[in-house]
Amino acid sequence: MKLDWTDEETEFRAALRASIQTNARPGWTLDDRDMPEPADVEAVKRFCAALGEDGFLTPHWPRAYGGREASPWEQLIISEETWRAGEPRGGQYMNTNWIGPALMAHGTSDQQAQYLTPITKGEVNWCQGFSEPDAGSDLAALRCRAVRDGDTYVVNGQKVWTSYAHAAEYCFLLVRTDPDSPKREGNTILLVPMATPGIEVREIPNPYAHHLIHEILFTDVIVPVSCRLGDENRGWDIVRNALANERVGIARHAHSEHVLDRTVSDATNHGVDVDDPSVADTLGMAYAWCEAARAMNYVAVAERISDPHGSRPMAAVSRSITGPMEREVAWACQEVLGDQALAGGTEADRQVVTGTTAMIAAGAYEVQLDLIGRLCLDLPRGK
């Protein structure tokens, strides 16, 4: 056990940080990650292209696909440094973390040729079309239908809460192809160009952020069979794997820590005595939560290295610390800044968004606790 970064890892981080500094749009924040304006979409693409040029977009990918098989620790460092900078990759972290790998594992050579290179060049945004109005935590209850018609599928239905849908060129879409089979069977993945006629994206209004969430309506959308990923009715396994990759090593702690640092300086500017014992107590607790989230994030990465095909209980443990950490940090900022926290545009204000959504998006907190009960504590299933 060595709880230090190696010299190579430290150099990697420094070079990456310099690249982010050079290439990210000045003043980038987590709000911009949702790409509310067309200029933000372009900024994300420019940034990812530059990151790719510098070798920091997909270094963990296999050599055959343009990577250099960098370690999962380097992948984590990328996540730490990009989150710290407000994630200037926008939604493209999905491309590199799990959409690309899913294409490598299940795609045809034509699909790989078509989709992977644009990802490595940062040219493309994808969105994840899984959740539906009646299929959230119980994702297997999805109903969005794809009916085979010769060499095409005809898709009808609705996806909801979709991030980045307004900016995406493609949707990684989970559809039901066999409504009569059991819930986890009969589902298929389609790689759907968002420009296809019959697709309508609507922003869902909310008081948190512009273009945070969307719904996608599919009306008689014709998708060629060549856009299917993997076998028909075998989509669930792909999704399960994709979600496992999606949920490990997202370094939210790096951003939250930065939010606390900024809040301390904002508070000082507003005359708050941050050395006051009760203020320091609140801040110290929140920082301790960030460190706890960091520690378990690292454990989850180590588990991924040592047991890549196992049930990965530490991934659930990590997420069950990270979600509450976001909330603790959000409330700490509110407490420390008082009414000043309500002024838009501060990190404290933005933290309300992630503090609210982190325990819901990408799988509810309670589902993680269920997993821990089963995988770590051997507790019996409920009725």
Partner 1 sequence: MDLQLSVEQQLLDDSLRAMFGDHAGLDRARAMAGSIDRDLVTRLDDNGFLDVCAEAGPIEAILVAERASEAVAAAPIVARVLVGPLAGFTDLPPLVGLVGSADGLVRYAGHCDAYLVLDGDEARLASRDDVDVEPVQSRSAYPMGRVRVRRSESMGPGSGHPLRRAWQVGIAAETGAMSLAAVEFASRHVRDRHQFGRPIGSFQAVQHRLARSYSMAQATRWLARRGAWHHSDEYHTAAAATFACLTARETYDNTHQVVGGIGVTSEYGMTEWTMRLLALHAELGGRRAHARRVAQSRQRLG
Ligand X SMILES: Cc1cc2nc3c(=O)[nH]c(=O)nc-3n(C[C@H](O)[C@H](O)[C@H](O)COP(=O)(O)OP(=O)(O)OC[C@H]3O[C@@H](n4cnc5c(N)ncnc54)[C@H](O)[C@@H]3O)c2cc1C
Catalytic (active-site) positions: 246
Cβ neighbours of residue 248 under 8 Å, at least 6 residues apart?
Answer: 300, 301, 304, 312, 315, 318
d(CA 170, CA 199): 11
Instruction: State the burial class of residue 317 (Cβ atoms within 10 Å of its Cβ: 0-12, 13-18, 19+).
Output: buried
For residue 223, give the H/E element and its range: strand 214-224
178 closest CA partner among 136, 219, 223, 148: 148
- 284 is a contact residue toward partner 1 (CB under 8 A): yes
Smallest gap from Cβ 283 to ligand X, in A, equals 26
- Residue 18 contacts which entry, partner 1, ligand X, none (Cβ below 5-8 A, type-dependent): none
Smallest gap from Cβ 168 to ligand X, in A, equals 10
- By the 8 A CB rule, do 334 and 13 touch? no
- Residue 284 contacts which entry, partner 1, ligand X, none (Cβ below 5-8 A, type-dependent): partner 1
The beta-strand segments (E) located in 302-379 are: none
Which one of residues 28, 56, 73, 98 is an interface residue with partner 1 (CB under 8 A)? 73
Closer of 277 and 380 to ligand X (Cβ):
380
- Residue 367 contacts which entry, ligand X, partner 1, none (Cβ below 5-8 A, type-dependent): ligand X
Q: What is the footprint of partner 1 within residues 4-33 (CB under 8 A)?
A: 4-6, 9
What residue spans of 86-200 are helical by DSSP H? 92-94, 100-106, 109-120
Neighbours of 319 (CB within 10 A): 28
Q: What is the footprint of partner 1 within residues 245-274 (CB under 8 A)?
A: 260-261, 264, 274
The footprint of ligand X (CB under 6 A) covers 127-128, 130-131, 136-137, 161-163, 212-213, 357, 360-364, 366-367, 370
Closer of 216 and 251 to ligand X (Cβ):
216
Q: What is the footprint of partner 1 within residues 303-332 (CB under 8 A)?
A: 306, 314, 317, 320-321
For residue 323, give the H/E element and its range: helix 313-337
- Residue 162 contacts which entry, ligand X, partner 1, none (Cβ below 5-8 A, type-dependent): ligand X
Smallest gap from Cβ 155 to partner 1, in A, equals 35
- Residue 118 contacts which entry, partner 1, ligand X, none (Cβ below 5-8 A, type-dependent): none
Q: How many residues does the chain have?
A: 383
Size of the site for partner 1 (CB under 8 A): 51
d(CA 56, CA 81): 11
